[in-house]
Amino acid sequence: MAIAYYFEKQAEGAPDGGKTRAAPTLEGIRGTLQACEDQTSAFDWRKYVTNLELAESNMSIMFEIIPSSIFRALFNMLHLVQHFPEERSVDLRTKHGVCSIKVWAHSILGLSVSVRVNSPARGDTYRFGPSPATVFIDTYERAHGPSITMLSASDKSKLFINKPERDDENIDATFGRLNDDPLLEVCVPTI
């Protein structure tokens, strides 16, 4: 399961000799994903992404996948922004997984999100939540690929930058049910 791989990769940086396991077990992850599915499967998540779908014609890449480097960084950064919104903000540069990231940051965590959708003809900005936004997503990717930066909210200084690694893969975030897949080969909870 891909999400277990990312937890293990993050645990590699944990100090040795800790009293708790730094990465959850595969069974624990499956149980958590099953609980998420059981509790949210009747909820109409689709209405939370349609406003961005209407704004962007190339929705296949904006919805289906989240770059793994972005996913790993969001795991830590969104938590910090949620707890310290006056002190931290996140700046993302990606055209992949934008709708899923918006649902995660705004609809689930309650953060204010600003999405700049860049197209060849024009660029539009969509705001979700009150000002000021704490999560900024720009669908324009520089030649270097996706990136995510933790910023100081006061002076916009860069505190942490995460860019893709050579062996990074994308994380599928499609609609579906865990029980439809006998091997439970899902990467994130169904949203």
pTM: 0.67
For residue range 99-121, what is the model confidence (pLDDT) as tens digits? 888 888 988 889 999 988 776 56
C-alpha to C-alpha distance for 189 and 37, rounded to whole angstroms: 7
For residue range 47-92, what is the model confidence (pLDDT) as tens digits? 666 655 555 544 444 556 787 788 888 888 998 999 998 999 999 9
Question: In the prediction, which pLDDT does 174 show?
Answer: 45
Domain coordinates of the chain in residue numbers?
45-169
On the question of pLDDT at 94 being above 80, the answer is yes
C-alpha to C-alpha distance for 5 and 51, rounded to whole angstroms: 32
C-alpha to C-alpha distance for 50 and 13, rounded to whole angstroms: 38
